[in-house]
Amino acid sequence: MKVRPFYVVYNGSMKNKPLEKYQKIGILLLVAVFAGFFGWVYEMIFYFFDGGTGEFYMQGGNFLPWINIYAIGAMLILATCWRFRDKWWLVFLVSTVVTGLLELVAGWLVFKLFGARYWDYNKEILNFGNIGGFVCLRSVLFFGISALFLVYAVVPVCRWLAIHMSRRTFLTLAILLFTIVMVDEVYNLLASKVFGWPDAMDFWRSMGWKYLT
Q: Coil, strand, or helix at residue 131?
A: strand
DSSP, residue by residue, 145-164: HHHHHIIIIIHHHHHHHHHH
pTM: 0.88
At 44-77, the pLDDT tens digits run 999 999 887 778 999 999 999 999 999 999 999 9
With beta carbons less than 8 A apart as the criterion, state whether 55 and 38 touch: no
pLDDT for residue 6: 47
pLDDT tens per residue, range 103-125: 999 999 988 888 888 888 888 88
The Cα 28–Cα 22 span in angstroms is 10
